[in-house]
Structure 1
């Protein structure tokens, strides 16, 4: 009997860890929660890390160094163009390139549930500036560097609330819904230069900021767990692993997609 052909599928993994050797990744909102987990896992895969955060950028950089990577911290308000441009300029000055952009920074800490009639104009604008405008600014800043090398992986972190139309979170759902549509538009604009743009959509996840917001956690945690197909709490790594796939060369033919990493809470 002739031997069966043995097919070997090459992946970007080594010893069970996805490889990002030779890559440089900017992670916004890397000081805590999902951003911190993403920065750490990218570092474990060998990427150079730029940890950007408005409050604790050092935490992401320290975690990356602890994982054996080279890393820098940059205190950045991602809603300010000058600060975003400076962040990317420092990335190029330090590492010579930018391969991966994780648009994770967002207003979530201290969010208060309130009917839309009570949302203040300044509050709404700030949510859009940080959660939505920041994606535009960061993509604009990395664009010339990625296009010049005809390589780039952009991953936006969105939210299942935008699919569900979560009540009493009007500003937040609007800001994340906008990023979902931006993801598709940007994918079409970047595609000619082999740059992919995708999004990962978490459900309610046990991040540090969510756990610290005890009133919010008390409302959403059990409801989220009991209404998803996989009835357990979502941990940051459940979302990060999907984000890392989208940032990897294994996803080189995936673009314009929004992947829900929420245990079966949203279907779209």
Structure 2
């Protein structure tokens, strides 16, 4: 018996990288997995028993409502939401004065507005079911003040504030909202951009207490904890998972 038997878990951006590792971790505890992603959702969902893969742009209001309606129609409810979708590795590191406004808005839409839209659609479902768990994926960057990615770092700091405020608002309805903030992770998305690895890999490892590469599986345990029965009195919190680069 897994601690999430009978639960339905939606993982946005779950087709690869950290999101996919999280989906596998939740499935190992018995959850039925819904993978929501722009690409590869159906293929990724095929790895799970009764898995459901849905292609959706979580920064689009209509697409999000359609996604949630389909999940509820096919799975009955949503017990766990992991807001993982986001932009990172494809962003060029540069001075804030060189960031185009269009790129700034795109990062805010994908990394922050998407969480607002998905939560706005999912939380009412959780309320009807007597409660649920929302786990938002932030980053260690806002805690360290990482330069030359101002739009990304700002968006990830906003997620921490979003988590705290939403937790206060929906706690009375039994919906717990928490956050996980990974460090620089050797995910598939990062590995597809050698220039990012060249700039950040060695300096990140050297700054850690546990000096090795961080991999997507390192994030899974905290998400499973927030999704499971061990965290029934925990909400509004953020766990930084970066091998001891930052103590939070």
Q: Same fold (TM over 0.5)?
A: yes
Matches within 5 A, 1:2-81: 19-64=3-48, 69-81=49-61
Normalised by the length of structure 2, the TM-score is 0.97
Residue number in structure 1 paired with 2:158 = 178
Size of the aligned set, in residue pairs, is: 248
Once the 2 structures are TM-superposed, how far is the Cα of residue 59 of structure 1 from its aligned partner?
A: 3.4
Structure 1 runs (4+) deviating above 4 angstroms are none
1:94-149 per-position Cα deviation (integer Å, ceiling 9, x unaligned): 11010000000001242211110110000000000000001101110011111112
Residue number in structure 2 paired with 1:201 = 181
Once the 2 structures are TM-superposed, how far is the Cα of residue 208 of structure 1 from its aligned partner?
A: 0.6
Give 1 or 2 for the bigger CA radius of gyration: 1
Once the 2 structures are TM-superposed, how far is the Cα of residue 174 of structure 1 from its aligned partner?
A: 0.7
Contact 1:51–1:72 (Cα < 8 Å) also in 2? yes
Once the 2 structures are TM-superposed, how far is the Cα of residue 244 of structure 1 from its aligned partner?
A: 1.2
**CA–CA distance in structure 2, aligned partners of residues 125 and 140 of structure 1:** 20
Once the 2 structures are TM-superposed, how far is the Cα of residue 194 of structure 1 from its aligned partner?
A: 1.3
Residue number in structure 1 paired with 2:191 = 211
Are 2:64 and 1:84 aligned? yes
Are 2:170 and 1:190 aligned? yes
**CA–CA distance in structure 2, aligned partners of residues 126 and 146 of structure 1:** 29
Normalised by the length of structure 1, the TM-score is 0.90
Residue number in structure 2 paired with 1:10 = none
1:201 alignment partner, SS class: strand
1:146 alignment partner, SS class: helix
2:58 alignment partner, SS class: coil
Contact 1:111–1:216 (Cα < 8 Å) also in 2? no
**CA–CA distance in structure 2, aligned partners of residues 122 and 53 of structure 1:** 22
Are 2:149 and 1:169 aligned? yes
1:217-236 per-position Cα deviation (integer Å, ceiling 9, x unaligned): 11111111110111111111
